[in-house]
Amino acid sequence: MTTSTQGVTEVTDADFAAEVLGSELPVLVKFTAVWCGPCRQLKPVLAAIAAEEAARLRIVEIDVDRNPETTVRYGVLATPTMMVFRAGEPVKSIVGARPKRRLLEELEDVLA
């Protein structure tokens, strides 16, 4: 089941393929965990970007502890890790929290 918090949808191992790999828009996936402080810092940043860039980018998050299959498949070793998927393929990986402006700069090529 997918839940949404401020424009950021939560996905699981079960619906990752449909929600992310099958998306027409590029999708930024935040690999997160409840115990991860920097992940919590990133939440309002991603919510703001999700609202501003809704026409060009979809943002979802997946809990690494509850969804080990997807986490292992993409070799995620640290949280937060953000991966951008376009046409079902990972095209960018960003590890660690960022301020909004810097994150948008790093996503420029994906949003172009």
Q: Is 36 a catalytic residue?
A: yes
Among 8, 20, 28, 36, the active-site one is 36
Q: Is 39 a catalytic residue?
A: yes
Cα gap 72→55, rounded to integer Å: 30
DSSP 91: E
Among residues 61, 47, 63, the alpha carbon closest in space to that of 103 is found at 47
Instruction: Provide the annotated active-site residues.
Output: 36, 39
